[in-house]
Amino acid sequence: MGNDMAALNWRLRQAVKTLNLGGTIAYPTEAVYGVGCDPWDEEAVLTLLEIKQRPWTKGLILIAADFNQLQDFIEPVSAAMLEQLQQTWPGPVTWLLPARSDVPGYLTGMHDTIAVRVTAHPLTRQLCEAFGGAIVSTSANITGLKPAMNVHQVRWQLPAIDYVLPGALGGADKPSQIRDGQTGETLR
C-alpha cells in the first residue's frame, strides 16, 4: 500500500510539474481520458488546441476540485444557481456560466460564457487540488475521433501530450452532460 501511495504521489507531482512548466497532460475523468493544461497559460492552451486539431472558437471546459477553484473564471452566481450547482457537483455535469470579463477568449471561444465542472473523479480532484486550481479539460482525442479510454489510446492518438497521469476511468458511460446556466437547458 505504501508503495502504491508513493507512486501515486510521484505521478501527481509529475503532472503538476508539467502543468507549471506550461505543458499538456492527459488524465482519467468520469467517462473518458481528458487532456488539459493551465488555463492561464495561453501558449499551453494554444498548443493543446493544436494537438487536438480543435478550433479555439468552440471554447473549452474547466474542471476543478471544488467551486472555489472556479471563482476567477465566472461571474458571481445567484443563490438559486448556486443551489442547482450544488445539486449536480461534484459530478459529471458541466455548466455554461457567464464568464468574467478578464477571462481570455482562448478559453471562452466565441461565447460570453465558460464551461465549468467540479469533477467527482477522485484522482482528477487530487490533481486539481495538487495544482491549486482549475485546469482545462477536453476529451483526449483528435477532434472527430473517439475519445481515448486508456493510456495507450491517449499515446496513440495524441503522442505530443507531455505527460499522461494513469488511472481508472470513473465508470460513467458517456462524457459529461452540458447545461446552460441561464436557461437550465441540457445541451449535451
Report the pLDDT value the prediction gives residue 1, as an integer from 0 to 100: 53
Taking alpha carbons only, the member of 60, 78, 171 closest to residue 116 is 60
| Segment 98-122 mean pLDDT | 96
> How far is 154 from 161, CA to CA, in rounded Å?
8
Instruction: Kindly report, residue by residue over 130-145, the tens digit of the pLDDT.
Output: 999 999 999 999 989 9
Identify the band that residue 178 occupies on the pLDDT scale cut at 50, 70 and 90.
confident
What is the residue type of 179? R
| Segment 30-38 mean pLDDT | 95
Identify the band that residue 58 occupies on the pLDDT scale cut at 50, 70 and 90.
very high
DSSP string of 71-124, one letter each residue: TTTB----HHHHHHHHHH-SSSEEEEEEBPTTS-HHHHTTSSEEEEEE---HHH
Report the pLDDT value the prediction gives residue 2, as an integer from 0 to 100: 64
> How far is 98 from 74, CA to CA, in rounded Å?
6
Q: Where do the domains of the chain lie, and which CATH numbers do they carry?
A: 2-180 (3.90.870.10)
Select the more confidently predicted residue: 54 or 188: 54
**If DSSP states are collapsed to H, E and C, what string results for 140-188?**
CCCCCCCCCCCHHHHHHHCCCCCEECCCCCCCCCCCCEEEECCCCCECC
Report the pLDDT value the prediction gives residue 172, as an integer from 0 to 100: 77
Whether the pLDDT of residue 59 is over 90: the answer is yes
Report the pLDDT value the prediction gives residue 100, as an integer from 0 to 100: 97
pTM, two decimal places: 0.93
Whether the pLDDT of residue 175 is over 90: the answer is no
Mean pLDDT of the chain: 93
Taking alpha carbons only, the member of 138, 137, 164 closest to residue 153 is 164
| Segment 28-32 mean pLDDT | 92
